[in-house]
């Protein structure tokens, strides 16, 4: 095994990365063929199928974790789609995904020291009173180390994997090549535009200078906040970002064993952080997944990782939000079709069933109808199954996503996934109105139902 691989850095040669990704479906086909043979020899079909699922999950997430970059981000996205699987089938994917997120290959100390020396010079340790060679956390394109800055403050040192840029660019080339296959699943979508928007979003996370500037903007805005804590940036050079350490209970731990109060508090503050503030400081936080969130001892929400931020709102967003919500909750199929076409969620020449779309979107909007509603993975699973079904009659397959809505879509989907894992309960309608006051009049007719004691689920 080469010293390059021993370093923990991702493999960067395009041919190697492509070969590893291509091997996934090939290996799956081989397991299916072998499974057919075992079933023919009398092995119970459920046992064989379960073994295939386990082996496929292990292989898939092991490869994605090893490649890091876009591949590891794909693993994060799969966390949403595994919700569409039955619980017994989804279990191995959930377990393997957890290992991908929590136990990604380690960038070993000599490699970390090399990056720090290249960035700050051979006396880089003089910047710190202490520097822990063990990683404290892993990410798709880097890892975080804990240290004590020269002024005594605890710091998080985020170091990008050597070769991460080359690896990500290689993955983006492959993504563009295979994205055409998405047109089979989403015949009504502008796949090319959606793919380019996704590529730009991923590429932006390679720019630590831009990430530091985003973080400084949020930190300055929330410096005196009673609800939010954004760590100050102390230094940024090249592929290293140093900021204050956040002390608190991670969202990951709260999902696993948190109290009802912690779950509700963290979920409500996370939603408020994503949905409010952008109209004042002009940035949308797009990555509210559990690894970036903490509940501090004083009740504030701690937030880290500002690589995935976007200038926001885009022109016309308020009109889009109001008109779409009004059509979904109050307008009927004809009004919904008008709004969908006006705002570019259907290609001009594409027909779709507005009645079916109203039914699907109304179900997704259920949390808004109640004074208090608890999101759960069970509820989210129903929505994912409905919207990702490959049935030809699934109206969602006929729609598209305007490229300038990509940041908000990413933030919203990640946020809903995290809220569902937390099983957070709050007044979701009120939080939406807080960010877009114009929605108060839109929601008023449908929210009168909670006064009669309509149950939340």
Q: Does 86 have pLDDT greater than 90?
A: no
pLDDT tens, residue by residue, 160-178: 988 888 877 876 776 676 5
pLDDT tens, residue by residue, 329-383: 999 999 999 999 999 999 998 999 999 999 999 989 999 999 999 999 889 888 8
pLDDT tens, residue by residue, 218-259: 999 999 999 999 999 999 999 999 999 999 999 999 999 999
The CATH code of the domain that includes 224 is 1.10.510.10
69 in any annotated domain: yes
How far apart are the C-alpha atoms of 435 and 423, rounded to whole Å?
22
328 and 274 co-located in one domain: no
- Tokens standing for residue 204: 């932006």
How far apart are the C-alpha atoms of 215 and 182, rounded to whole Å?
34
Query: Into how many domains does the chain fold?
Result: 3
156 and 300 co-located in one domain: yes
Among 276, 311, 346, the domain boundary falls at 311
181 in any annotated domain: no
Q: Does 11 have pLDDT greater than 90?
A: no
pLDDT for 188: 81
72 and 125 co-located in one domain: no
pLDDT for 328: 95
Q: Does 9 have pLDDT greater than 70?
A: no
| Strand duo 228-229 + 301-303: pairing | parallel
Which whole number is the average pLDDT over 317-325? 94
Q: Does 448 have pLDDT greater than 70?
A: no
Q: Given pLDDT bands bounded at 50, 70 and 90, which one contains residue 196? A: confident
Q: Does 450 have pLDDT greater than 50?
A: no
Among 59, 86, 102, the domain boundary falls at 102
pLDDT tens, residue by residue, 404-433: 898 898 899 889 989 999 999 999 999 999
Q: Given pLDDT bands bounded at 50, 70 and 90, which one contains residue 3? A: very low
Q: 89 is in which domain, residue-wise?
A: 3-102
201 in any annotated domain: no
90 and 22 co-located in one domain: yes
How far apart are the C-alpha atoms of 236 and 307, rounded to whole Å?
13
Q: Does 157 have pLDDT greater than 50?
A: yes
pTM of the model: 0.79
Q: Does 47 have pLDDT greater than 90?
A: no
How far apart are the C-alpha atoms of 199 and 71, rounded to whole Å?
12
240 in any annotated domain: yes
């Amino acid at each position: 095994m080469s010293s390059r691989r021993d370093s923990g850095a991702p493999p960067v040669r395009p041919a190697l990365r492509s070969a590893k990704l291509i091997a996934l479906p090939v290996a799956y086909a081989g397991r299916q063929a072998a499974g057919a043979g075992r079933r023919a020899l009398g092995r119970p079909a459920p046992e064989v199928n379960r073994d295939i699922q386990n082996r496929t999950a292990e292989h898939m997430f092991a490869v994605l974790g090893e490649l890091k970059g876009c591949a590891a981000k794909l693993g994060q996205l799969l966390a949403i789609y595994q919700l569409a699987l039955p619980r017994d089938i989804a279990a191995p994917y959930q377990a393997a995904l957890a290992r991908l997120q929590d136990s990604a290959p380690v960038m070993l100390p000599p490699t970390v020291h090399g990056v720090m020396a290249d960035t700050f010079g051979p006396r880089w340790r003089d910047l710190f009173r202490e520097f822990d060679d063990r990683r404290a956390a892993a990410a798709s394109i880097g890892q975080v180390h804990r240290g004590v800055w020269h002024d005594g403050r605890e710091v998080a040192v985020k170091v990008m994997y050597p070769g991460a840029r080359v690896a990500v660019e290689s993955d983006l080339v492959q993504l563009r090549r295979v994205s055409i296959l998405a047109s089979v699943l989403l015949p009504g979508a502008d796949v090319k535009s959606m793919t380019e928007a996704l590529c730009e979003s991923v590429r932006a996370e390679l720019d630590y200078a831009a990430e530091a500037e985003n973080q400084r903007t949020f930190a300055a805005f929330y410096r005196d906040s009673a609800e939010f804590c954004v760590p100050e940036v102390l230094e940024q050079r090249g592929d290293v970002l140093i900021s204050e350490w956040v002390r608190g209970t991670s969202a990951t731990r709260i999902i696993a064993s948190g109290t009802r109060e912690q779950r509700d508090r963290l979920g409500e503050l996370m939603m408020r952080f994503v949905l409010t503030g952008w109209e004042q400081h002009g940035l949308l936080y797009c990555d509210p997944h559990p690894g970036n969130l903490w509940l501090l001892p004083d009740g504030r929400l701690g937030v880290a990782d500002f690589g995935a931020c976007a200038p926001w709102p885009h022109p016309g967003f308020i009109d889009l939000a109001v008109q779409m919500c009004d059509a979904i909750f109050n307008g009927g199929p004809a009004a919904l079709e008008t709004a969908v076409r006006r705002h570019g969620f259907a290609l001009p020449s594409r027909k779709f069933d507005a009645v079916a779309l109203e039914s699907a979107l109304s179900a997704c909007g259920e949390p808004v109808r109640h004074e208090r509603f608890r999101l759960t993975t069970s509820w989210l699973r129903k929505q994912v199954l409905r919207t990702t079904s490959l049935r030809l009659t699934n109206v969602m397959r006929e729609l598209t996503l305007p490229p300038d809505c990509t940041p908000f879509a990413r933030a919203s989907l990640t946020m809903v996934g995290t809220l569902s894992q937390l099983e957070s309960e709050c007044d979701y309608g009120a939080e939406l109105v807080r960010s877009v006051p114009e929605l108060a009049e839109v929601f008023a007719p449908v929210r009168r139902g909670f006064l009669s004691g309509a149950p939340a689920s």
